[in-house]
Structure 1
Amino acid sequence: MTVQPYRQDYPRPQFERSEWLNLNGEWEFEFDDHQVGNLEKWNVSHDFSQRIQVPFCFQSSLSGIGDTGFHDTVWYRKAFTVPAAFVGKRIVLHFGAVDYMSWIWVNGQLVKVHEGGHTPFSVDITEHLQGNENTIVVKAQDYSQDQTLPKGKQYWEEESASIWYTRTTGIWQTVWLEPVAETYLSKVKLTPYIDSNEIKIRAFIEGRLSDNLWLKTIISFKGAPVAEEIVKVTESELMRRVGLHDFNDHGRGRWWSPEKPNLYDIQFLLLDGDQVIDHVNSYFGMRKIAIEDGKVCLNNRFYYMKLVLDQGYFPDGIMTPPTDDAIKQDVELTKAMGFNGARKHQKIEDPRYLYWCDRLGLLVWGEMANAAAYSENYVRRITSEWQEAIERDYNHPCIVAWVPLNESWGVPNILVDKFQQQHALGLYHLTKSLDDTRLVISNDGWEHIKSDICTIHDYESSREVLVERYRTVENAVQAKPANRWIHVPDYPYEGAPIHVSEYGGISFKKSDWEGWGYSAAQSDEDFIERYKSVTEPLLQSPVVQGFCYTQLTDVEQEINGLLTYDRKPKVALELIKQINEGK
């Protein structure tokens, strides 16, 4: 088999240690269509017949397999050697994401079971290691045709169709090892407060707390010292607020925004006496997202969000970007077209994407991968995984909104079903209970229960209709663009800012891909005119405060992207930018 390229970039860029071992690359692999792996103890011994390139799912071409049929149970095996530099430390095994259920064995011993296809998990495997030569075995089980499974755009039929795409099963983000001390920093939560120019730091310590344990924090900006302190650690959770005492607003400021993506570097040193036993590098951005007097404000100034819908699919890797450069390119192309943000649609995105949004300056609406149908088991699944997603991405300044539900997916009867209404309301309050610093849209597009922004999905192509529809607040919230109520009748509109969070979807064939869109352009000039006709009414509306154009790229059978599936611009990027800027 030809060896394909695989991801070597650091998988957790907001909590970085210098020592780690990437386990991506070639793994042994097997389909278990007859469900015999457990009975035959494949975790102990099996002659694996295939090879796969991790972290690409077997459905993708980059995996080296490229089989899009139903294979809901798969097994992996990888032999590895613990580096000499790791000896004497605790060894933690990390998985970025495995879709959907996963069982992990090390040297034949079960060490971890995880449910949830988009979120990371880790396990300390120190006690299960056997000298230098060791083996990891992974069993991954998907439920491709279970429509109560939170899986976003993955289709439950064998062939992609309409708005549904190729499935992802098994490992699809980086696998890696990390050495840590007996006592170490397990995570930090960083909350900026620009009004008082402080950063709130919550640090969590794992392991035994000695009598002489200290946490040293060093904050700098572009290499210049900003703040430094050292505090004694007496509990497993430590909370501090550190004043930055530097510039904030008025041009010279260091606040974060898409226009000025300023980031502070922060180092955490855990000391036992005068010995450094853990050293973690991170960063944060000082920014605030809030609603003031009915207006969405970034850093206490009204901010018009110009977003693009980005589904994060790639022709050769499906949900896994082929390289870090490919992730960075998507952010750069988005900004080059005059967008200041992206709505990551039906996918909890790779942390490297959020890293580049932080670095380059792009707002992000973080959205859960939804199910298609409702059940009590679905409620358990989505609630658990959504909490893990918020936990993972809390520190990223680029994220300004959380979207647990989209277009009543998973809650198809929300208009009349009290259980589904309470579920959406519960997700809103659950999200707020975990993060009160960001905006929450409980059900993006229509049939809102409670949302900080009134978001509307509207694929109308007529300029005249859009002008009239968004001429007044009353017209906007009483319209039914998809023949859906904007608000559930028992939860009326209460003055939230209005955003048209999906519109456009103009199909334009500029590659070998065949497909569809919500309206169709025949030439470059026709496409530009159609883009103007749907965008200008929103920019000129006295009530619309933001938009999200569908979409960044073509995806499989959809050809309604501004870029082709392989990221080639359909028209000059500058032309799109001029329209987005109202020129």
Structure 2
Amino acid sequence: MTANNTTYERTEYPRPQYVRESWSNLNGNWKFAFDDQNRGESENWYAQPSFSTDIKVPFTYETKASGIGEEKFHPYIWYKRDFDIPEKEKDKRVLLRFQASDYLTKVWINGSFIGEHAGGNAAFSFDITNAVNITEKNELVVKVEDSNSCFQPRGKQRWMDENFGCWYVQNTGIWQTVWLEFVHTRSIDNVKVTPNIDHNSVAFEYKLNGEIDDSYRIDTKITFNGQLVKKVSITPTRANANMEVELLSEMHEWKVMLWSPEQPNLYDVEYRLLKNDEVVDEVTSYFGMRKVSTKDGQVLLNNRPIYQKLLLDQGYWTETMLTPPSDEAMLEDIDKTMAMGFNGVRKHQKIEDDRFLYWCDKKGLLVWSEMAATYEFSDEAVENFTKQWLEVMQQNYNHPCIITWVPFNESWGIPNILTDKKQQAFTESIYYLSKAIDSERPVIVNDGWEHTISDIIALHDYEEVGKIFYDRYKDKDNILGNKIPHNNQKYAFANGYEYKGQPVILTEYGGIAFNEGNGWGYGNQVDSEEEFLNRYKDITDAIKDIPYISGYCYTQTTDVQQEINGLLNEDRTPKIDMEKIKKINDA
């Protein structure tokens, strides 16, 4: 399919932080059908699919790149394609992997139901070994169910018929790569990697598949720039094994190579599972040695204060919407962000493609990982959110670029958190649950305002005039003592909570739009580059002049549909000379 003479293909390896050689990409042309009356299951569409429409996966039907481009919401949709098992893989187990599909995904192989997964943000997989024919063509049928429910994590997807405010066209169905992976009966399911720069070591937590006895061992080989650092082995006694490895090496005068935006050093690592010295599974990966902590009102990276200059990044493209169109498109966003003098992004209401995070790891761009919000509070919303947030954290834990977790934003899904004890308790439970999975990174509870317990106090304020902003914020106790609403509307803390010395970062400001007649930004629109730069400099300098504010996040990287306050147009052409933005950020 083509859109504006551009053909979109997603052929890259989808999970670059955990690579096996044995895989098959299932992206490309599939058959497709709408099922608005939800007749498909009762009529056995999974057994006798006859879908007449073509769609290009992994682009949702709402996008031009899919070949359909229909923005009307359809709650039930079906996909179908055939696949073969390569000859060299026929003695292995077959895993069907989805990097992301929104929202409830059901899978059939050759007419047999395999399983289902709820959630639109995390990767998931099914073992389809017993359902496939190894000598014949196989039929894969997928049904995806979505809804306009505000109890499901939906991020910036609208739940009404038309776009409104800062909510955009919905994202329905498969929107990241679908692929097959071929593994032995016993394999390394995943490895959780935790760096410890204070002890010059890295911890590995291995999770294994299949029955393991003392004839198995795991070899772990760590290299840096091709030079061997350490090679260690462990004999697992069950399906899990843990090991800590000291990384001190004479290969460099610093002994251990740390990861930072200035020097995004990455160690390569190779995991091998062996039975009686015969390799049965092999995976390549990488990790970064870095530490994120807070102290005395500052965020520290590798035990040194870091002033964060972030861009709010929603990750939308004109013809592919939430799905990045290519590696090159992701790299363009990263390179232009850095060229404008920003050292990170706050990935807003979106769990981004794993390859985007890979390139941030490689290039040294900091990432705040923010969960897609629900918009109403209920037991169902609590259950949906909690399960899916855990999946996201576990999936992306190993990326060194991620330095902050953001489960909640602007009281979305917890609208009465200022006074409601149940909603406050929910945010506390997510905070402590997040810390149980990851004690290393800061967790922000309710980015924007009305914080409960939070490692960083993240405030939103779209004030246009630098002097007004400075006068409002210069008295720290007024803002952080809940004496005045920090943005003339909202208080920094929910009732019953107080400031305890955390770092303070202004995580949304600016949002300046040009007066172009369509769409909106924050505050008055500007008519020229000069007017834009004067306002940008005025408010940014005012933020920098507040001594207790230790960073900022400008809204935003690009225009998104009706929201036209990006530094770049939606096609990624700059609105303002990028070097002039960089000069202000670097001052």
TM over 0.5, shorter chain: yes
Q: How far off is 1:57 after superposition? A: 0.4
Give the Cα–Cα distance (whole angstroms) in 2 for the partners of residues 549 and 515 of structure 1: 16
Give the Cα–Cα distance (whole angstroms) in 1 for the partners of residues 2 and 406 of structure 2: 40
- Aligned match of 1:522: 527
Matched, 1:183 2:189: no
Gap regions ≥5 residues in structure 2: none
Give the Cα–Cα distance (whole angstroms) in 1 for the partners of residues 252 and 467 of structure 2: 40
User: TM (normalized to structure 1)?
Assistant: 0.97
- Aligned match of 2:498: 492
Q: How far off is 1:541 after superposition? A: 1.5
- Aligned match of 2:105: 102
- Aligned match of 2:48: 45
Give the Cα–Cα distance (whole angstroms) in 1 for the partners of residues 167 and 11 of structure 2: 30
- Aligned match of 1:124: 127
Q: How far off is 1:314 after superposition? A: 0.8
- Aligned match of 1:114: 117
State the AA in 1 paired with 2:146: D
State the AA in 1 paired with 2:145: Q
Matched, 1:411 2:414: yes
Matched, 1:256 2:259: yes
Matched, 1:23 2:5: no
Maintained 8 Å contact 2:296/2:503? no
Matched, 1:134 2:141: no
Give the Cα–Cα distance (whole angstroms) in 1 for the partners of residues 70 and 555 of structure 2: 29
Q: How far off is 1:389 after superposition? A: 0.1
Q: Which moved more, 1:130-139 or 1:276-285?
A: 130-139
Q: How far off is 1:482 after superposition? A: 4.9
Question: Residues 205-227 of structure 1: CA distance to partner in whole angstroms, max 9, x if unpaired?
Answer: 10121431111110011111111
Structure 1 533/387 Cα, relative in aligned 2: closer, same or farther at 3 Å?
A: same
Q: 1:504 aligns with which of 501, 510, 513?
A: 510
State the AA in 2 paired with 1:44: A
Give the Cα–Cα distance (whole angstroms) in 2 for the partners of residues 571 and 221 of structure 1: 39
Identity rate of aligned residues, in percent?
45
Maintained 8 Å contact 1:189/1:201? yes
Structure 1 211/497 Cα, relative in aligned 2: closer, same or farther at 3 Å?
A: closer
Q: 1:483 aligns with which of 484, 489, 496?
A: 489
Corresponding residue pairs, total: 580
Maintained 8 Å contact 1:217/1:267? yes
SS where residue 542 of structure 2 aligns? helix
Q: How far off is 1:373 after superposition? A: 1.0
- Aligned match of 2:552: 547
State the AA in 2 paired with 1:516: G
State the AA in 2 paired with 1:484: K
Matched, 1:451 2:457: no
Maintained 8 Å contact 1:107/1:129? yes
State the AA in 2 paired with 1:508: F
- Aligned match of 1:538: 543
Q: 1:575 aligns with which of 570, 580, 583?
A: 580
Give the Cα–Cα distance (whole angstroms) in 2 for the partners of residues 28 and 263 of structure 1: 41
Structure 1 26/300 Cα, relative in aligned 2: closer, same or farther at 3 Å?
A: same
Give the Cα–Cα distance (whole angstroms) in 1 for the partners of residues 251 and 193 of structure 2: 18
Question: Residues 476-513 of structure 1: CA distance to partner in whole angstroms, max 9, x if unpaired?
Answer: 32442051111012011222111101000111257x96
User: TM (normalized to structure 2)?
Assistant: 0.96
Give the Cα–Cα distance (whole angstroms) in 2 for the partners of residues 248 and 455 of structure 1: 41
Maintained 8 Å contact 2:248/2:256? no
- Aligned match of 1:560: 565
Matched, 1:200 2:203: yes
Gap regions ≥5 residues in structure 1: none
Q: 1:385 aligns with which of 377, 388, 391?
A: 388
Give the Cα–Cα distance (whole angstroms) in 2 for the partners of residues 458 and 252 of structure 1: 44
State the AA in 1 paired with 2:244: R
State the AA in 1 paired with 2:552: F
Give the Cα–Cα distance (whole angstroms) in 2 for the partners of residues 248 and 386 of structure 1: 40
